[in-house]
Chains A and B, each alone.
Chain A
Amino acid sequence: MADQKWLIDQLQKLSETSTHFKDRALYLATIKMVIEQQRRIDTAEGEIDGRTWNPSDW
């Protein structure tokens, strides 16, 4: 999660400091993609937990 915050912070800084419209657009789109990437990781981890904790195996 710390890596994720670092990643988004760096991309945010790049989007603010870049002077090229296309580059700024790419950095902002990357932030959106990274957030979605993390959401998918969280969802997959949650599903693995759910499937692993099968009450019939208790």
Chain B
Amino acid sequence: MKTLIIVAHPNLDESSTQQFLQAASIDSKVQWHALDNRPLNVAGEQRLLRQADRIIFQFPLYWYSAPASLKNWEDTVLTRAFAYPATGGSLIGKQLGLVISLGQPAAHYAAGAPEQFSLSQLTVPYQALAQRLQMTWLPSFIVDQFGYQSETQKMQLLVDYQRYLTQPSLGHFDGEVDWIVTKLAAINTHQHGPEQQKLALIIDQIKQNEATLEDLQDTLTMLKEGED
């Protein structure tokens, strides 16, 4: 699965949030694509989109929307001939998600909270875009108050963001377990001796737990069927 991150930020180099996310995104199956002031090469942008399975719009929330560069990109690149299902349909079946950074706590975006409206409400135009182009909409990934986060919170953010970019089945615990096991196995290819053996045992134990859970869930399914 290939992921394309389209980053819209007027001062990318000065954003510690975006610098952190860029470092976290480094992966052979992830492409970081920052929009700048240069004219858009429409064919080139469309080629990038065609190659991706998961497309992410990543931006700081400016006046309850994305910076203007993303709207310009949408209006220029998503042509009728390319994107409309009836005439091009190049994005049908692909996933679309948002990574939104906030200066305020995410909890402020709710009915009755200081901002009154939820992020699900504010991002309706993107949801409509996904629906119109027959894409699969992903729950948005929110990064709030990055500058105030502790080191532990940043470590959790790093892994959650990497999973958002590369975990095939988002929102499924099995998918999270498989993703973590794959990452641990990748680390272990660089370990040696006792450290390598220890990590191999850890991976085995996690897989055993996974098998145990699967067996229990099968038993439960059988019990429930017997009760019907």
A residues 8-35 touching B (CB-CB < 8 Å):
10-11, 14, 21-26, 28-30, 32-34
Within 8 Å by CB of B209, from A6, A22, A37, lies: A37
Residue ID in chain B nearest A30 by CB atoms: B180
Chain B, 195-226, contact with A by CB distance < 8 Å: what is the 0/1 string?
A: 00011011001101110110011011001100
Secondary structure dominating the interface of A: helix
Query: Does residue B177 face the partner (Cβ distance < 8 Å to A)?
Result: yes
Q: How near does chain A come to B98, taking the closest CB pair, in angstroms?
A: 22
Within 8 Å by CB of B187, from A26, A37, A38, A47, lies: A26
Within 8 Å by CB of A23, from B177, B187, B206, lies: B187
Q: How near does chain B come to A14, taking the closest CB pair, in angstroms?
A: 7
Within 8 Å by CB of A25, from B155, B199, B201, B212, lies: B155
- Given A28-B152, A29-B180, A47-B220, A37-B206 contact (CB < 8 Å): yes
Give the contact-size bracket for chain A: 20 to 34
- Given A22-B158, A24-B155, A48-B219, A14-B199 contact (CB < 8 Å): yes
A28 and B206: CB pair below 8 A? no
Q: How near does chain B come to A48, taking the closest CB pair, in angstroms?
A: 6
Residue ID in chain B nearest A32 by CB atoms: B156
Q: How near does chain B come to A4, taking the closest CB pair, in angstroms?
A: 8
Within 8 Å by CB of A51, from B173, B184, B187, B220, lies: B220
Number of interface residues of B (CB under 8 A): 33
B213 and A40: CB pair below 8 A? yes
Query: Does residue B14 face the partner (Cβ distance < 8 Å to A)?
Result: no
Residue ID in chain A nearest B212 by CB atoms: A41
Contacts of B183 in A (CB 8 A): 26
Query: Does residue B13 face the partner (Cβ distance < 8 Å to A)?
Result: no
B220 and A48: CB pair below 8 A? yes
CA distance A44 to B223 in the complex (A): 12
Contacts of B208 in A (CB 8 A): 3
Which 9 residue pairs of A and B lie closest in terms of their CB atoms, listed nearest first?
Answer: A25-B155, A44-B216, A29-B159, A25-B158, A51-B223, A37-B209, A7-B205, A25-B159, A41-B213
**B interface, CB within 8 angstroms of A:** 24, 152, 154-156, 158-160, 173, 176-177, 180, 183-184, 187, 198-199, 201-202, 205-206, 208-210, 212-213, 216-217, 219-220, 223-224, 227
**A interface, CB within 8 angstroms of B:** 3, 6-7, 10-11, 14, 21-26, 28-30, 32-34, 36-38, 40-41, 44-45, 47-48, 51-52
Other than A14-B199, A25-B156, A29-B159, give 10 A-B pairs with Cβ distance below 8 A.
Answer: A7-B202, A10-B201, A22-B158, A26-B159, A28-B152, A28-B159, A29-B155, A37-B173, A44-B220, A48-B220
